[in-house]
A and B are shown apart, each in its own frame.
Chain A
Amino acid sequence: MNLDNETIVRIAHLARLEVNESEKESLLKDMNNILHFMEKLNELDTTDVEPLIYLTDEINVLREDVVKQEITAEAALLNAPLHDGTYFKVSKVIDKG
């Protein structure tokens, strides 16, 4: 399977990445390489092998429903590029009115 330019553009959009023409070309090459490598792996018969999702054997790590206020609102806003002391401020994502 070979990816085309359109797929690269779509994937870049989904990841909210801006890529220029030359980057597109190298990305296309890289991603095709990755897919070819996967195809190689696909030659293995994995019929009875459970997919590996977790890297440990842990199950049921649960938490009691008890409130712990770890941080203040001030601390929550501290790392934000933009805030007004109460809310996070982000570029307008909707055009109202």
Chain B
Amino acid sequence: MTAMDTEQKVMTEEVLNKYELVIGLEIHAQLATKTKIFSSDPAFFGAEPNKHTTPVSLGLPGTLPKINEEVVTCAVKLGLATHCKINLVNRFDRKNYFYADLPKGYQITQDELPICQKGFIVINLKDKEEKKIRLNRIHMEEDAGKSMHDKDDRYSLIDLNRAGVPLLEIVSEPDLRSAEEAAAYLSEVRRIVRYLDVCDGNMEEGSLRCDANISVRLKGAAEYGCRCEVKNLNSIRNLQRAVNYEFRRQVQLIESGERIDQNTLNFDAATGVTSVLRSKEMALDYRYFPEPDLPPLHLSQDWVDELRKELPVLPEQRIKRYTSELGLSEYDASLLTNDRSVADFYEELISVSSNYKSAANWVIGPVQSLLNESGKEISELGIPASAIAEIIQLVEEGKVNNSAATQQIFPVLTASPGKQVNEIARELNLFIDTNEDDLDAFIEQAVSKYPDKVVEYNKGKKGVLGLFMGELMKVSGGKIDPKTANKLLISKLESLK
């Protein structure tokens, strides 16, 4: 068999279909705390190089780390939201390795006693299928600094602003079976950390980073294949690309009778190809041991229970409630829950308006478009949920028609959020105050304008009704109740048969 034959054989769908992917993700979430994990220098992104440092984050001799209580709170919240067991007795460990952006020569992390263990995250797949992805652990650790290798010819440049920024590492079990599942899981993790307000979830800026352990095996096989770890996947799309690339690469190797080496790989986003970063022989020996500089951390069950009570309702639970109790579609429910502030606004709205469907349409429609266009947060718009509820009520009671509400009242409300809805409707003269005599006159006017269309209608071309309705809206200035007008218009047309 020539090399060409091998190539063709491996790449057929039939061959690929014999195998399945096995993926586990390690996700690093940078916490949105004000200060670093073990020192009081600022943790936020974007300062001048080396501005955010202290003797502790510089790793100067004789300095001692002191843990930021907010980091512990974030870790427990995330653990509770992902159904983990919270370990009340915590310890930190040193992970030893040399790299220029790691000033101490070791990273403080949690090896033996991670703060959260054995949880799970539910992901939604196509066809409303749900899948539970088990979590192995979530632990607290510090980030390293940043190295730049291409700014100077002779030296690497080091910025230690990021050194000591708090991270939570979220480690899944190898429960993911496709690029789509991996993407759905990563999106769900991002949504959860955003809901909890523990991390901004920004993958471009590196607030959320992902490494993937990928292996393949014959479908039905009991053992896992030999895995490769792909580092630094900085978007959901790149995660999917790397997984799909590795699947074909690994299947091809196995089909050609070769074996997969347990390597650490780098994914090149420009070419879509993985390459070896470290071979197994070069695997690092971290020599973990307990960090003696940080006293142990004992959490009380009362405190953990307190945090559990404060947890926001998570997207998963909200979607269940919206579809089963409020009668919304799965699609609408998922649009409403993508962003916590939007979902909170919707809930505020339905606390004062019982028209759940209209409320959903308003939030997904005009409100969401405004958010997209302005790039603002919902709180920055300043529109009270009660104002939207009033608009919904005006439309429901037939006092204002829906297009006038979305196209005229809403823009004015957006510009002056403090304004009363009734006042806006009055100023714009939108209240439907047309009596039946006026309406009859409008209908008479419209019908006499298009005599040929009347004939068409009575010959069975019902579509021309829209034209008459449009004309009615025009001559009345939108101040008619569409339902009544429609009814009267039809009887007028029928009478001209």
User: What is the distance, in angstroms, from A67's C-beta to the closest C-beta of chain B?
Assistant: 5
A93 — which chain B residues lie within 8 A by C-beta?
99-100, 147, 149, 156
Judge if B296 is at the interface, Cβ distance under 8 Å: yes
A61 — which chain B residues lie within 8 A by C-beta?
66-67, 294-295
Partner of A76, one of B42, B53, B157, B285: B53
User: What is the distance, in angstroms, from B307's C-beta to the closest C-beta of chain A?
Assistant: 15
Judge if A89 is at the interface, Cβ distance under 8 Å: yes
Q: Are B290 and A73 in contact (CB under 8 A)?
A: no
Q: For the complex, what is the distance from the CA of A62 to the CA of B295, rounded to whole Å? A: 10
Given A63-B66, A71-B55, A54 and B292 touching (CB < 8 A)? yes
Judge if A40 is at the interface, Cβ distance under 8 Å: no
Judge if B150 is at the interface, Cβ distance under 8 Å: yes
Q: How many residues on the B side are at the interface (Cβ–Cβ under 8 A)? A: 49
Judge if B50 is at the interface, Cβ distance under 8 Å: yes
Q: How many residues on the A side are at the interface (Cβ–Cβ under 8 A)? A: 38
B42 — which chain A residues lie within 8 A by C-beta?
67, 69
User: What is the distance, in angstroms, from B66's C-beta to the closest C-beta of chain A?
Assistant: 4
Q: Are B158 and A53 in contact (CB under 8 A)?
A: no
Q: For the complex, what is the distance from the CA of A90 to the CA of B154, rounded to whole Å? A: 9
Q: Are B292 and A53 in contact (CB under 8 A)?
A: yes
A84 — which chain B residues lie within 8 A by C-beta?
152, 157
Partner of B72, one of A14, A59, A62, A73: A62
CB-based nearest B residue for A97: B150
Judge if A48 is at the interface, Cβ distance under 8 Å: no
Partner of B68, one of A16, A65, A76, A96: A65
Q: For the complex, what is the distance from the CA of A71 to the CA of B155, rounded to whole Å? A: 25
User: What is the distance, in angstroms, from A29's C-beta to the closest C-beta of chain B?
Assistant: 22
B278 — which chain A residues lie within 8 A by C-beta?
none
Q: Are B50 and A76 in contact (CB under 8 A)?
A: yes
Q: Mark out the residues of chain A between 73 and 97 whose CB falls within 8 Å of any chain B CB in the assembled complex.
A: 73, 76-77, 79, 82, 84, 86-94, 96-97
CB-based nearest A residue for B105: A16
Q: Report the 8 A-B pairs with minimum CB-CB distance, sorted nearest first.
A: A87-B157, A65-B70, A68-B40, A88-B158, A89-B155, A62-B69, A90-B100, A58-B295
